[in-house]
Amino acid sequence: CTKSATVNFPFLKPFYVLEEYDNSVKVVAAGKVNSLSWSLDPGYQDSVFFMKKDDLLLWSNPVLSDSLLIDRCNVKLPQKAMIIKNLRNLESQDIYVNPAGIREGNYISSYSPREVEVLYLYQYDEESDAFLCGADSRIPSIRHVSSSIRGWVSASSLAMWYSTLCIEPNWITWSQRSGSDEFARGYSRLYDARQFSSNKYHIPSNSEGLIFNEENYRATIEEDPLHRLPGDMLRFQLLTRSIDLTNDFPRVGFVGEKIDNNSNCTFSPAELATYRRDVADVISGRQRNNIIFVIDGTQSMDMAVEGVTNALTRTMELIQNENEAEIAAGGSPIEYFFGAVVYRDTDDNNPIELTYNGELTQNRARVVSDLRRIFSHPATTPTECEGVFLGIQTAVEQFNPNPCNRNYLILLGDAGNNYDHVNFGTDEVAGWLSERNINFFSIQVRHKVSACYDNFCQESSDILSNNIMSISNAFKEKYNREYRNGDECIKSSLEYFLGDIYNAIPKSRNDITTVSNNTSVTGTNYIDENIEIIPYNVFNGSLSMGAKVCIPGSGSENDIIHEQELSTLLDFFLRNINKYNKSFGREYRSADDYIKRVMADLFPCLPMKKLAAVFGEGAQLYQEGYTAYNPNWLSTDEPLWQYVSFVNHSSAGELLANINSLFSPNFSSVNQLRNQIFTVLRSLIVNRYRYLSPEEFNDTEICNVLSLLTGLPADRSNFDWCSVVMKDINNPKRVPDEAVLEMALNFIIFKGHLESIQNKRAIFDVNFFNTYQNYVLRYLQKKGIIVPPPQRLPYYRRLAEFFSDEYQNYYQNPTFKY
């Protein structure tokens, strides 16, 4: 749309109608209107445009249903329209319960807070010049009672002109298309898409139905960031609700601008796509966990050193075994990298007596080998205090973990720091940790009556609380800086998403919430009673986590944490770390709180603008059309994986692992599948999530197992196949072959969403599940595995209802991680 031959009106920017004529409209840019007083700002004349209705960037008619085709006043219904503000007719933005209500002024709801909204028109009332409108593209009849039917709206507030520009669909990657003579085209009518089934060297003679021709826009695409290169999957999301797999000419969505519901911020497609990619990169980095052990290797630790080495070895082995179980279960294992530093004493001739294993590594054997070489030295200074701070400093500087990873430092020793040879204190130590976003844990392995041994406890406590304060203050400073420099959109987003968290940040160390342990961890009272924890809970002001264990000293040689107790303690810490990694502890109050918690976790590494664009409530405007490009449905690296990407699913690799975990490459029979289902479920429940012991699992009904996995209630109305008992899975009389295949298919569909369901922008309705199932079936067919499509509409309908109606409860499932 243009104001003149040389001035472009921004794509999908909201505007206000000043005057309407037979073939054109006079509009003013939204930024020149004061939405509080409904007055025009000074200088608005420079932002006034005249546009032909035929060129206006609104909607053609993508969906027609014969049962709803009402041709009064030559309007075909249902038809998509935009509600826009009309400065000459403010009341026309209201929705009314009936046509007469428009004349009488009895309205249901007002659309004043929104710039635009896309609705479908179902019926026209000539007397009131009004349309019945709603959110669904199809309803059985105009008498259909549905919450999606909004009511009646005045025709004067609608714009129903045709669009001449949209963004092309996305089927194959740009790298495959570069230099190709194939061009994507989108059509508003299925007939045109079927007639022109090839994109090579073809421009249809009748171009009425052509809504996008990539060939004509190639130069524009390459120069204008509002357009994308063909197939650039990472930049624009295709709306999956409108995909039609019943033919080779799928109906697709053309993506537009996103409008945020909370702040009315707008994000262009190019911005949003880039931000999604940036956020995904940071989230990927947050799935890496760096665990650094800092260990006292002086003579006073001789009694404990073998137990420490064995406990650390067992701890790293446990983590890696759980990762292998995650992989076997088709999940996405969290990456763990390890490093170790051994510190001893210091003197003038040997100022830094340390041993470290080079760099962070996933090679457990390498770290274990270094630890096995620990040997003790007698003290070289008259004091019992040791080089604790030098050990921590060396560990932080040597391994230098990325602040956007998840980082943990675990200190194991007995005596406190030797201040004769260092010129820094606990504040500086906490500063090293907080700069790299490292969570601090400490364990006093043995204690005797000595000031140096008492110092270990006090110093650990100071480092822990100072580290929490430093991380919190850095968060606060970044919030203030962005608020100070940001526009109204950024300020509104900061207040809405992070305001409660900001206000909960402690003002001093005395305000930090410390929790004393009241459970049996090791079974030894003098250990369990001296465990203090600072849990991660952003709404209570804790933006980091940590713990310390200090045992009382009586002078007895028995005042020591032995190998088994130390292993149990480390496992206890790791379970808390895993809980934080996967679920943030789940002590939040609603689904909104979960999103805020995720954003708080990512905020130190990303600006609010990117977080608000990706996580904020709102939808991208889109137009439906058809494409003539015939994608290769059965390709192993095309539509299924693109579909996964477009719905904010887990990664393609995770979905492929889910499928291959059941339908392995050497799959040959249903009996093989029976055993594999049992193995996969057992691996998930027993090894990965540790909900049940192996003995309990063998006697558990599959519906209860799936309830644990998904958070859905284990009643037969939701799982009509959950009456299958695990011990009967290998009994064809109790569980026929078709039931096993159906179980496997639905398990893939369920499991695929366990890793990504918390993103509320994903689409859940009956058509969504059917489409997903269709893709998986086609993929299995290519692998030579024929699975008859189950008749699952009632089942999927229940799922869709659950996801939309009980979403808040669904967030309580402890198995999700973002």
**Calpha distance 249→190 (Å, rounded):** 7
**pLDDT given for residue 382 in this prediction:** 57
Beta carbons of 453 and 414 less than 8 angstroms apart:
yes
**Calpha distance 516→539 (Å, rounded):** 19
Token pair, residue 700, equals 């558990």
| pLDDT of 169 strictly over 70 | no
CA 496 centroid distance within chain? 19
**Calpha distance 132→89 (Å, rounded):** 19
**pLDDT given for residue 434 in this prediction:** 93
> What percentage of residues in the chain have a pLDDT greater than 90?
9
| pLDDT of 566 strictly over 70 | yes
DSSP state letters, 609-641: HHHHHHHSSEEEEEEEEEE-----TT-TTSHHH
Phi, psi angle pair for 174, to nearest 5°? -60, -35
Reported as a single tens digit per residue, the pLDDT across 102-140 is 666 555 544 433 334 456 666 667 777 777 776 665 555
- Nearby residues of 116 by Cβ (< 8 Å), 6 or more positions away: 14, 82, 83, 84, 259, 621
Query: Of the candidates 522, 574, 510, which has an alpha carbon nearest to the alpha carbon of residue 551?
Result: 522
In the predicted model, what is the mean pLDDT of residues 186-192?
Answer: 52
Beta-sheet strand order (sheet of 185-187): 210-213, 185-187, 618-627, 251-260, 266-267
**Calpha distance 74→85 (Å, rounded):** 24
Is this prediction's pTM over 0.85?
no
| pLDDT of 383 strictly over 70 | no
Beta carbons of 265 and 203 less than 8 angstroms apart:
no
Instruction: Please work out, in degrees rounded to the nearest 5, the angle formed at the alpha carbon of residue 520 by the alpha carbons of 516 and 521.
Output: 85
Q: Which residue has the tokens 């540790």?
A: 690
**pLDDT given for residue 17 in this prediction:** 62
Reported as a single tens digit per residue, the pLDDT across 311-324 is 888 888 887 787 77
Topology (CATH level 3) of domain 287-475+512-586 = Rossmann fold (3.40.50)
**pLDDT given for residue 98 in this prediction:** 60
> Residue 597 to residues 204, 406, 494, 616, 777: CA-CA distances in angstroms?
52, 15, 13, 13, 37
In the predicted model, what is the mean pLDDT of residues 741-758?
Answer: 57
Average pLDDT, the chain: 64
Query: Of the candidates 637, 745, 649, 703, which has an alpha carbon nearest to the alpha carbon of residue 172?
Result: 637
Phi, psi angle pair for 441, to nearest 5°? -130, 145
Phi, psi angle pair for 50, to nearest 5°? -110, 125
Phi, psi angle pair for 497, to nearest 5°? -85, -35
E strand map for 273-329: 288-296
| pLDDT of 275 strictly over 70 | yes
The HSE-up count of residue 45 (CA atoms within 13 Å, CB side) is 1
Q: Which residue has the tokens 């028109």?
A: 121
In the predicted model, what is the mean pLDDT of residues 570-579?
Answer: 79
**pLDDT given for residue 388 in this prediction:** 85
Residue 562: count of CB within 10 angstroms of its CB: 17
Residue 341: count of CB within 10 angstroms of its CB: 25
**pLDDT given for residue 13 in this prediction:** 52
> What percentage of residues in the chain have a pLDDT greater than 70?
42
Q: Percentage helix, strand, coil, to 5, in the chain?
A: 45, 15, 40
Angle of helix 302-328 relative to helix 364-372, nearest 10 degrees, comes to 170
Burial environment of residue 746 by CB neighbours within 10 A (0 to 12, 13 to 18, 19 or more): buried
Query: Of the candidates 657, 538, 577, which has an alpha carbon nearest to the alpha carbon of residue 288?
Result: 577
More confident residue, 253 or 582: 582
In the predicted model, what is the mean pLDDT of residues 306-335?
Answer: 75
In the predicted model, what is the mean pLDDT of residues 317-334?
Answer: 70
In terms of phi and psi (left: phi > 0; alpha: psi -120 to 50; beta: otherwise), the region of 362 is: alpha
**Calpha distance 305→75 (Å, rounded):** 84
Residue 326 binned pLDDT confidence (cut-offs 50, 70, 90): low
Span of 291-295, 367-371, 386-390, 754-758 with lowest mean pLDDT: 754-758
**pLDDT given for residue 724 in this prediction:** 43
| pLDDT of 91 strictly over 80 | no
In the predicted model, what is the mean pLDDT of residues 348-376?
Answer: 66
Reported as a single tens digit per residue, the pLDDT across 17-60 is 666 666 676 777 767 766 555 567 788 777 777 766 555 433 32
Reported as a single tens digit per residue, the pLDDT across 51-76 is 665 554 333 232 223 223 223 323 33
Residue 606 binned pLDDT confidence (cut-offs 50, 70, 90): very high
Query: Of the candidates 657, 574, 610, which has an alpha carbon nearest to the alpha carbon of residue 318?
Result: 574
First to last CA, the chain: 40
**pLDDT given for residue 555 in this prediction:** 59
**Calpha distance 40→793 (Å, rounded):** 52
* Cα pseudo-dihedral 786, 791, 792, 794, rounded to 10: 180
- Nearby residues of 364 by Cβ (< 8 Å), 6 or more positions away: 313, 316, 317, 320, 338
Which is it for the CA torsion 763, 766, 769, 773, positive or negative?
Answer: negative
Element spanning 336, H or E: strand 335-343
Span of 3-7, 178-182, 528-532 with lowest mean pLDDT: 3-7
More confident residue, 549 or 715: 549
Domain extents in the chain:
15-159, 175-261, 287-475+512-586, 631-810
- Nearby residues of 528 by Cβ (< 8 Å), 6 or more positions away: 517, 519, 520, 521, 522
Beta carbons of 535 and 529 less than 8 angstroms apart:
no
More confident residue, 779 or 627: 779
**pLDDT given for residue 788 in this prediction:** 59
In the predicted model, what is the mean pLDDT of residues 650-656?
Answer: 60
Beta carbons of 272 and 609 less than 8 angstroms apart:
no
More confident residue, 206 or 685: 685
In the predicted model, what is the mean pLDDT of residues 488-517?
Answer: 87
Q: Which residue has the tokens 């015939």?
A: 630
Span of 153-162, 433-442, 482-491, 736-745 with lowest mean pLDDT: 153-162
**Calpha distance 787→789 (Å, rounded):** 6
Q: What is the DSSP letter of 596?
A: H
| pLDDT of 808 strictly over 80 | no
Residue 583 binned pLDDT confidence (cut-offs 50, 70, 90): low
Residue 780 binned pLDDT confidence (cut-offs 50, 70, 90): confident
**pLDDT given for residue 452 in this prediction:** 82
Q: Which residue has the tokens 């096993």?
A: 740
In the predicted model, what is the mean pLDDT of residues 354-366?
Answer: 74
CA 449 centroid distance within chain? 51
Reported as a single tens digit per residue, the pLDDT across 397-456 is 889 999 999 999 999 888 878 877 677 888 999 999 999 999 999 988 887 778 888 888
| pLDDT of 249 strictly over 70 | no
Element spanning 531, H or E: strand 531-534
Instruction: Please work out, in degrees rounded to the nearest 5, the angle formed at the alpha carbon of residue 617 by the alpha carbons of 479 and 288.
Output: 60
Cis peptide before 78 (omega within 30 of 0): yes
In the predicted model, what is the mean pLDDT of residues 292-300?
Answer: 83
